[in-house]
Amino acid sequence: MGMKYTHLGRSGLTVSRLCLGTMNFGPHTAEADAHLIMDQAHDAGLNFLDTANVYGGAANRGWTEEIVGRWMARGGGRRERTVLATKVYGAMGDWPNDGKLSARSIRMALDASLKRLQTDHVDLYQFHHVDRDTPWDEIWQAVDTAVQQGKILYAGSSNFAGWHIAAAQEAAARRPVMGLVSEQSIYNLMERSIEREAIPAAQHYGLGILPWSPLHGGLLGGVLAKENDGVRRTGGRAAKALEEHRDAIGAFEDLAAGLGHAPADVALAWLLHQPAVTAPIIGPRTSAQLDAGLRALDVALDGDALARLDEIFPGPKTAPEDYAW
């Protein structure tokens, strides 16, 4: 199985078609196991790693970045071979300016992330959410300064609406600076809302889509088969969603079986077949889960399979045709 690569949006930066998400590192995956998973990812040719300053749990924000930092500090080309992405926005404390995207918050948060990550620069610095109270001229000035200092190479967004992407890019063009090169958003067969406006905006401005929750909290990972085998019990919101979509999920699992692939592999492969997608983010808790994610790179879906998936999980049309003529 050979790793596949592409450019991050319109940039010249080459990244693997899968991105290693680290949100489980610390709270759900011990540090030693996390280090093994990151080494395993490199061994497989996966060079793209995503984290965030707030990862680690409510009481341990910053923990995940520290784990990644200690891994990279072990040397052996770990930092040099990694396209490192982290995020800014979430509050790291209780004082004013401990979060969001003011120039001060960006400067303080970036320096704190660099210290935890034990590196002098972040390859992709992502706005974890839109800050409706800070003007884009201020945000881009702070980013420009960090770029000139060599602390950031590229900027990306996360959880932005289509018009937020447009506002960001138009403000960047006025400066003029490169602006955003990626948008990280929830996107999977069951949650396709970004096809309405965010994806068209991203394609227009040359942003690559980085889907998070590609298996929709495990509901696209063979949940019915696992329930039947007594391997999984679904609770909370996932249980409600499972009941609402049980027929569709059943049809999806049957289709995957007919194709000879695991449901999770088909769900990831579907994302890899979407023209706007750069790299789905897989967040393994174990080495076995990383191995499973890598399998999707070798799953080819023909036109019939893609059409059947659209029938099972129909997505919206592009706006305005989705709701008007």
How many Å is the Cα radius of gyration of the chain?
20
Residue 319 lies in a domain: no
Are the CB atoms for 11 and 19 separated by under 8 Å?
Answer: no
Residue 325 lies in a domain: no
Phi-psi region of 15 (alpha: psi -120 to 50; beta: other; left: phi over 0): beta
**What's the total number of domains in the chain?**
1
Residue 186 lies in a domain: yes
Give the pLDDT confidence of 106-151 residue by residue, as tens digits: 999 999 999 999 999 999 999 999 999 999 999 999 999 999 999 9
Residue 323 lies in a domain: no
The secondary structure of residue 194, as a DSSP letter, is: G
What integer pLDDT is reported at residue 1 of this predicted model?
A: 58
Residue 154 lies in a domain: yes
Is 55 annotated as catalytic?
A: yes
Average pLDDT over the chain, rounded to an integer: 96
The total of other beta-carbon atoms located within 10 Å of residue 230's CB is 7
Catalytically annotated residue among 5, 55, 125, 323: 55
Residue 70 lies in a domain: yes
Report which residue type is found at 23. Answer: M
φ/ψ of residue 187, rounded to 5: -160, 125
CA 156/CA 166 separation, integer angstroms: 13
CATH number at residue 138: 3.20.20.100
Residue 324 lies in a domain: no
Domain that holds residue 66: 5-312
- pLDDT tier at 27 (50, 70, 90 boundaries)? very high
| Helix H or strand E encompassing 182 | strand 180-186
What integer pLDDT is reported at residue 236 of this predicted model?
A: 73
Nearest Cα to Cα of residue 255 among 191, 293, 304, 192: 304
Residue 298 lies in a domain: yes
Question: Sign of dihedral through CA atoms 95, 54, 157, 220?
Answer: negative
What integer pLDDT is reported at residue 232 of this predicted model?
A: 61
